[in-house]
Amino acid sequence: MIDPSLIKKYDQPVPRYTSYPTVPFWQDHISPGQWMEQFREQFAAENNHNGISLYIHLPFCESLCTYCGCNKKITTNHTVEEPYLLAIAKEWKQYRSLMQQTPVIRELHLGGGTPTFFSPQNLERLVRTILGDCTPHPDYEFSIEGHPNNTTPAHLEVLASLGFRRISYGVQDMDPEVQRVINRIQPLTNVQRATDEARKKGFTSVNFDLIYGLPLQRLAGIQTTFEQVLALQPDRVAFYSYAHVPWTSRMQRLFDETQLPAPEEKMQLYLEGKKLLLEGGYQDIGMDHFALPHDELFLAREAGTLHRNFMGYTIQNSSFLLGLGVSAISDIGNAFAQNEKNLHDYYNAINTNQPAVKKGYFLSEEDLSFRRYIKDISCKAGTLFDVKDLEILEQSSFPLLSQLQNDGLIIYDRKGVKVTPMGHYFIRTICSAFDLYLQRRTLSDNNELFSKAI
Whether 243 has a binding-site annotation, put simply, is yes
**Residues 6, 20 share a domain:** no
Lowest mean pLDDT among 87-91, 308-312, 364-368: 308-312
- Indicate which CATH number applies to the domain containing 404: 1.10.10.920
- Cβ neighbours for 420, distance < 8 A, ≥ 6 positions apart: 408, 409, 410, 411
What is the longest distance spanned by two Cα atoms in the chain? Answer: 68
Query: Domain residues for 188?
Result: 12-324
pLDDT at 420: 95
Whether 152 has a binding-site annotation, put simply, is no
Whether 304 has a binding-site annotation, put simply, is no
Domain boundary, last residue among 262, 291, 324 = 324
Bridge partners of 74, per DSSP, are 61
* CA-based radius of gyration for the chain: 22
Average pLDDT over the chain, rounded to whole? 92
Is the dihedral angle over the CA atoms 69, 75, 76, 80 positive or is it negative?
Answer: negative
Domain annotation covers residue 393: yes
Domain annotation covers residue 339: no
Whether 132 has a binding-site annotation, put simply, is no
**Residues 145, 202 share a domain:** yes
Closest CA to 342 of 325, 354, 360: 325
> Per residue in 88-110, pLDDT tens?
999 999 999 999 999 999 999 99
**Residues 137, 251 share a domain:** yes
Q: How confident is the model at residue 1 (pLDDT cuts 50, 70, 90)?
A: low
**Residues 39, 164 share a domain:** yes
Q: How confident is the model at residue 447 (pLDDT cuts 50, 70, 90)?
A: very low
Whether 22 has a binding-site annotation, put simply, is no
> Per residue in 47-85, pLDDT tens?
998 999 999 999 999 998 988 888 899 999 999 999 999
Whether 170 has a binding-site annotation, put simply, is no
> Per residue in 160-218, pLDDT tens?
999 999 999 999 999 999 999 999 999 999 999 999 999 999 999 999 999 999 999 99
**Residues 233, 157 share a domain:** yes
pLDDT at 443: 63
Domain annotation covers residue 379: yes
Whether 67 has a binding-site annotation, put simply, is yes
Lowest mean pLDDT among 178-192, 249-263, 349-363: 249-263
pLDDT at 207: 97
Whether 55 has a binding-site annotation, put simply, is yes
- 302 C-beta neighbours (distance < 10 Å), count: 11
Domain boundary, last residue among 324, 352, 374 = 324
Whether 68 has a binding-site annotation, put simply, is yes
Q: How confident is the model at residue 445 (pLDDT cuts 50, 70, 90)?
A: low
The domain tally of the chain equals 2
**Residues 382, 248 share a domain:** no
Whether 431 has a binding-site annotation, put simply, is no
Domain boundary, last residue among 262, 292, 324 = 324
Average pLDDT over residues 409-427: 94
Whether 288 has a binding-site annotation, put simply, is no
Domain annotation covers residue 356: no
**Residues 401, 297 share a domain:** no
**Residues 296, 235 share a domain:** yes
Domain annotation covers residue 310: yes
**Residues 217, 206 share a domain:** yes
Whether 82 has a binding-site annotation, put simply, is no
Closest CA to 207 of 163, 159, 240: 240
Whether 209 has a binding-site annotation, put simply, is yes
**Residues 141, 161 share a domain:** yes
**Residues 161, 228 share a domain:** yes
**Residues 228, 118 share a domain:** yes
Domain annotation covers residue 338: no
Q: How confident is the model at residue 450 (pLDDT cuts 50, 70, 90)?
A: very low
- Indicate which CATH number applies to the domain containing 197: 3.80.30.20
Whether 114 has a binding-site annotation, put simply, is yes
Whether 395 has a binding-site annotation, put simply, is no
